[in-house]
Copies of this chain bind each other. A is one copy, B any other.
Amino acid sequence: MRNLGRRGVFLASLVWAALLVAAPVVAADVGTAAAGAETAAAADAPAAPAGPTVADLKIMADTVWVLVAGMLVFFMNLGFGCVESGFCREKNCVNILSKNFIVFAVSSIGFWFLGWGLMFGDGSGFVGTQGLWMVGGADNSPASGDAYSGVYTAINWATVPLWAKFFFQLVFCGTAATIVSGAVAERIKYHSFIVFSFIMAICIYPVVGHWIWGGGWLQSRGFVDFAGSTQVHSIGGWAALVGIIILGPRMGKYGDRGKVNAIPGHNLSLATIGCFVLWFGWFGFNPGSTMAVDPGAISEIVVTTNAAAAAGTLSATLVAWLLLGKPDLGMTLNGCLAGLVAITAPCAFVTVGASVIIGLIAGALVVFGVLFFDRMRCDDPVGATSVHLLNGVFGTLCVGLFATPDRIGRAANPEASAGLFYGGGLEQLITQLTGVVACAGYVIVTTVIAWLVLKQTMGIRVSAEEESQGLDIGEHGNTAYPNFVKELS
């Protein structure tokens, strides 16, 4: 123990020293690159007193909108943290909170370091190859369209500065990684989860991101995912499902002869708080994905998003009531999230009426999903697979079903067409299906490799003894609510 401590300190000093040496270099480096990127903006500053032009004002409005929406999406980390810790047991609460807290920090660094470059850098249809490191490529944003010159061409349609684009994309990346956290909760080793999140942020999320939003092959084929039912939710969901299967269920979750034991979460107030925060954050997630203040579009998207959430809430409650005999609050909350996930891809392309229908179906889906995954013995403490995977897929397909001819233009993708129910035929639905399958394939393969390598090297599951005592003491040496000690002092 003592030796370990000493070795630890030594190691730390090493790491630290390395960092301090590397740091100025990095800083200098980035200094130059970013300085280039910023020149336009900086040059604007002195000019400001002379008064902005109409074009400047549009950039101002768009930037405020994108940043505020990005902040709302960031805030969803709190939502996930609350939902996931609320749905888990007290003895693992510190662990889940820690995971959900650090995962955004990890994503922030990882997506900045390499993820953004792979996702939006110019390159092949498969991955970005230019401006890879530390968002360091040439870029004259907020110049847009033809006026744009730089290496992040795929996102040159947004009339906001580079860092605004980066921030908005970063918070999405963080969300995908967070989804995994809940599904693998109560048994995964803390440091393995951290490493996995880093892998997600650096090379799983960004590659699919390149296909869908970074000018890659799926985008070229007309695949459309407005705010990320696939890009964020089903990717997170697949990674979670693979993790669940490789980790195996929690001790005591499944009994003999198909018996499913309930393992109630420790705090439904927390879970409810979390769900409200997520609903709130989704008002950044979906309407913000316009990345521009298009009044008609963002207003309608706010309403479709809200309508699907409301409908999902009601339908999950009703289905649970009829199916299970009582209106289970956990199902109500999951229904809301299901509606939100399902409307994420089609939010800009469908009518409010259609979004109500999408929400109603999503809410029912999630209830059956939870029962189904339990029957499959996929132990998912928070229902992440039912919410994000199932409804992520469903939502992506909804574009091919419900997109209206006049709204599909908002995709700014000439290959995209209206959905089956609005006279568009099967074409878009098939494209959507292709995208779903392709992304699933990539994520399943890469995460299987990642999880298995982690399993062989650092191990991914805590010992049975630690699992039974709770990960809080084992992994963190803390307890979330140390009431006995408290009473005594």
Task: Annotate A25-36 by CB proximity to B: 1 below 8 A, 0 otherwise.
Answer: 011111100110
Determine whether the beta carbon of B89 is less than 8 Å from that of A299.
no
Task: Annotate A405-429 by CB proximity to B: 1 below 8 A, 0 otherwise.
Answer: 0110110000000000110000000
Interface residues on A, range: 35 or more
Closest to A8 in B: B322
Determine whether the beta carbon of B12 is less than 8 Å from that of A294.
no
B contact residues around A370 at 8 Å (CB): none
Q: Which stretch of A73-81, A209-217, A382-390 is in the interface?
A: A73-81
The answer to whether A306 has its CB under 8 Å from any CB of chain B is yes
With A35-B351, A357-B26, A489-B263 known as contacts, the answer to whether A74 contacts B283 (CB < 8 A) is yes
* Cβ-neighbour of A61 out of B30, B57, B108, B326 (below 8 A): B57
The answer to whether A152 has its CB under 8 Å from any CB of chain B is no
CB distance from A470 to the nearest CB of B (A): 10
Q: How far is the CA of A469 from the CA of B29 in the complex (A)?
A: 57
Determine whether the beta carbon of A264 is less than 8 Å from that of B486.
yes
The answer to whether A307 has its CB under 8 Å from any CB of chain B is yes
B contact residues around A190 at 8 Å (CB): 327
Determine whether the beta carbon of A58 is less than 8 Å from that of B67.
no
Q: How far is the CA of A485 from the CA of B45 in the complex (A)?
A: 61
**A48-98, CB < 8 A from B:** 48-49, 51-55, 57-61, 63-65, 67-68, 70-72, 74-75, 77-78, 81-82, 85, 89-91, 93-94, 97-98
Closest to A296 in B: B41
Determine whether the beta carbon of A97 is less than 8 Å from that of B329.
yes
B contact residues around A63 at 8 Å (CB): 293, 295, 298-299
Q: How far is the CA of A300 from the CA of B57 in the complex (A)?
A: 18
Closest to A364 in B: B16
Determine whether the beta carbon of B64 is less than 8 Å from that of A58.
no
In this complex, the member of A38, A93, A190, A325 whose beta carbon has the largest number of chain B beta carbons within 10 angstroms is A38
The answer to whether A163 has its CB under 8 Å from any CB of chain B is yes
Determine whether the beta carbon of A57 is less than 8 Å from that of B59.
no
Determine whether the beta carbon of A45 is less than 8 Å from that of B297.
yes
Task: Annotate A239-279 by CB proximity to B: 1 below 8 A, 0 otherwise.
Answer: 00000000000001000000001011111111011011101
The answer to whether A344 has its CB under 8 Å from any CB of chain B is no
Determine whether the beta carbon of B44 is less than 8 Å from that of A294.
yes
Determine whether the beta carbon of A264 is less than 8 Å from that of B485.
yes
The answer to whether A164 has its CB under 8 Å from any CB of chain B is yes
Task: Annotate A365-398 by CB proximity to B: 1 below 8 A, 0 otherwise.
Answer: 0000000000000000000000000000000000
In this complex, the member of A268, A292, A299 whose beta carbon has the largest number of chain B beta carbons within 10 angstroms is A299
B contact residues around A162 at 8 Å (CB): 299
With A5-B325, A48-B294 known as contacts, the answer to whether A94 contacts B263 (CB < 8 A) is no
Q: How far is the CA of A51 from the CA of B59 in the complex (A)?
A: 11
CB distance from A328 to the nearest CB of B (A): 6
Q: How far is the CA of A205 from the CA of B1 in the complex (A)?
A: 48
The answer to whether A145 has its CB under 8 Å from any CB of chain B is yes
B contact residues around A44 at 8 Å (CB): 294-296
The answer to whether A231 has its CB under 8 Å from any CB of chain B is no
Task: Annotate A454-489 by CB proximity to B: 1 below 8 A, 0 otherwise.
Answer: 000000000000000000000111111111011101
Q: Count the copies.
A: 3
The answer to whether A317 has its CB under 8 Å from any CB of chain B is yes
The answer to whether A354 has its CB under 8 Å from any CB of chain B is yes
Determine whether the beta carbon of B71 is less than 8 Å from that of A72.
yes
Determine whether the beta carbon of A64 is less than 8 Å from that of B64.
yes
With A15-B318, A67-B299, A296-B161 known as contacts, the answer to whether A325 contacts B27 (CB < 8 A) is no
Q: How far is the CA of A20 from the CA of B283 in the complex (A)?
A: 27
Determine whether the beta carbon of B364 is less than 8 Å from that of A101.
no
B contact residues around A203 at 8 Å (CB): none
Determine whether the beta carbon of B354 is less than 8 Å from that of A296.
no
Task: Annotate A284-297 by CB proximity to B: 1 below 8 A, 0 otherwise.
Answer: 00010000111111
B contact residues around A303 at 8 Å (CB): 163, 166-167
Q: How far is the CA of A283 from the CA of B170 in the complex (A)?
A: 15
The answer to whether A121 has its CB under 8 Å from any CB of chain B is no
Top 7 A-B pairs ranked by shortest CB distance? A41-B296, A30-B353, A108-B310, A164-B299, A78-B276, A12-B322, A163-B299
The answer to whether A450 has its CB under 8 Å from any CB of chain B is no
With A323-B9, A404-B31, A483-B90 known as contacts, the answer to whether A287 contacts B67 (CB < 8 A) is yes
The answer to whether A319 has its CB under 8 Å from any CB of chain B is yes
Determine whether the beta carbon of B112 is less than 8 Å from that of A307.
yes
Q: How far is the CA of A162 from the CA of B302 in the complex (A)?
A: 12
In this complex, the member of A98, A277, A302, A313 whose beta carbon has the largest number of chain B beta carbons within 10 angstroms is A302
